[in-house]
Chain A
């Protein structure tokens, strides 16, 4: 089949894009799981979609391709462009413009009239004339998308456009902001395509773009959640990236990190009989299943479970045993900004001011290891760290010792 920059299935290219964007150091030879030709085609497509955001470097290990973006300087997520590359047939695009044009004046037309007008008014070459079932399917598809609506007139079904007045100008700023900051922002990016070019007034700091690639998965989970249906998800795991596992779940919440952009699904797993997390970028397919008869009960279980999450981990082997971590920090006179940070970043922990200079942070969570990266950001002010899991304390102090050695050999930092 001839190469095309458009694709039928997004899942196939999702992994390539994620790799080019997140990692960016793999060469063609590293993609040995797929055929070299497949790699070349996918790379070429991504290059065509993203243009200036793609960077190429050649070194001894080979040619590296990566997506380099400073999200603070990029007003619109370039990864959305990949979601606008769905392939279609010649008849799809032609019928799209014919049908919407024919109904543009607000007319309500039957299938037969639509088919006749295509032949009489639009098509010069009869050999292109789509058969009845193609036209019927297109009308049906557009009704399901909400572009067209139907109404009965006697025994006939009449089609018309779902023209709803909307004040485009009044929505512009909201859509522009939401396309980057709200869930499923890709939909906002599609809306922005309706506007002529205009100046943007926003930029975004700490903006993680990768979630764009999981938009399709998120949309399907949202639909299951809104309709209170169970979902059959196909996913891989950290230890088995190429594996494919399935689980019947009830989707409850999406946990999004503002510090790395990762998105996790909190869902009730019927096999494990408890709530658990699934990373969205490791979910490959979602299938809507039967109605969930007890959604409130499951959500209560989910809320109880979530109370002791620091991030998304429920402990080693998801054992859900509670651990208590206590950190004391000591601040100088002019370091109240550190205490401010402690208060605003404490999440479900508590902060107590012990005296003028000393603050205590206490967290009771499933996985205290998960707090360590944040604890380390207070390096230089940590008076003490204790945890009911001695492994956590040991790791913290061993890591600190290793840091002392790395940056000057043992006592050199003294």
Chain B
């Protein structure tokens, strides 16, 4: 069973506390720090109390413990079966997990049990040896704080440039990895990994980052809850920051905060709801909708 206390926050926090007790480094202050870092907000009271009052006789008053070893727990069958199952996926094999460790384990599921029915059809070529090589080099650069020289193609050109990598971003809808990186001057680039032609790593430069919090735009939508539009919209936009307000029994106001570079995507996502969602601000976004409708009007003969 997945919902089991052995995977729970409390067991993990107590294991952390007992680890320090076994090593002889535990104090009241350390208990507080471990709880603050790892536990739920209210665990700060319940865990120390249970340990101090002897409800869980695992810790003595002098912060020693009857345990003789640093607490560890073997992998459960569920964990091993899940690890075995994920190895069937070519994206996971990019990481080269040591699968021989699980030779006698039955997978928890077969990947053909799952259908991502609306995923884009031009996902990354995970089985391509060149792609795999580029992926591994980029990951290594991220881990070791190394810069990258990347030759890649865009729509019309080939580029060859130095980059400071920040992270790999994956989209399940697009089924693509993209490298988020910076030029030495600090300009952000987002490079589709499948467009990379060649990668080389520089010597270690230490972890450097130009990472800045992305600027967010706001669009305000008015929704009419007909044809189950409310639930559909709430779920559809749940991947981005949103706030919803009920105006009356059938009308709702949704405020979305999105990144400027995603504007076209947000636009077509809003359009997909047709008249059940009306953009009320800003004017610039309303203008984008009007433009599309204006273009559509040019096909006046449609449906007539």
- Chain A residues close to B by CB (< 8 Å): 4-6, 10, 21-26, 44, 47-49, 51, 55, 57, 59, 61, 64, 66, 68-72, 81, 83-88, 90, 92-94, 96-98, 100-101, 104-105, 121-125, 128, 145-147, 161-167, 170-171, 173-175, 177-178, 181-184, 186-188, 190-191, 193, 199-210, 215-216, 219, 222, 225-226, 238, 253-262, 266, 306, 309, 311-312, 330, 340, 343-347, 372-374, 376-377, 379-385, 393, 396-397, 399-400, 402-404, 406-408, 413-414
Contact = CB atoms under 8 A, between A and B. Distances in A.
A70 B115 contact: no
Contacts, number: 380
A57 B243 CA distance: 10
Contacts of A206: 171-174, 239
B212 interface: no
Contact of A167 (B77, B101, B109, B295): B101
25 contacts: A6-B10, A21-B238, A68-B242, A70-B257, A71-B239, A84-B8, A100-B72, A123-B66, A128-B57, A174-B86, A174-B87, A184-B82, A201-B139, A202-B168, A202-B169, A255-B115, A260-B238, A306-B115, A376-B274, A377-B269, A380-B292, A380-B293, A380-B294, A382-B302, A414-B294
B12 to A, nearest CB: 5
A210 B235 contact: yes
Contacts of A400: 274, 293, 296
A186 B4 CA distance: 12
Contact of B296 (A175, A253, A380): A380
A174 B136 CA distance: 12
Nearest to B66: A122
B130 interface: no
Given A206-B171, A407-B289, A413-B297, A166 B113 contact: no
Nearest to B176: A205
Q: How large is the interface on B (under 10, 10 to 19, 20 to 34, 35 or more residues)?
A: 35 or more
A71 B18 CA distance: 34
B184 interface: no
A360 to B, nearest CB: 14
A79 B75 CA distance: 22
B6 A145 contact: yes
A262 B232 CA distance: 10
B239 A261 contact: yes
A396 B291 CA distance: 19
A205 B172 CA distance: 7
B119 to A, nearest CB: 5
B290 A408 contact: yes
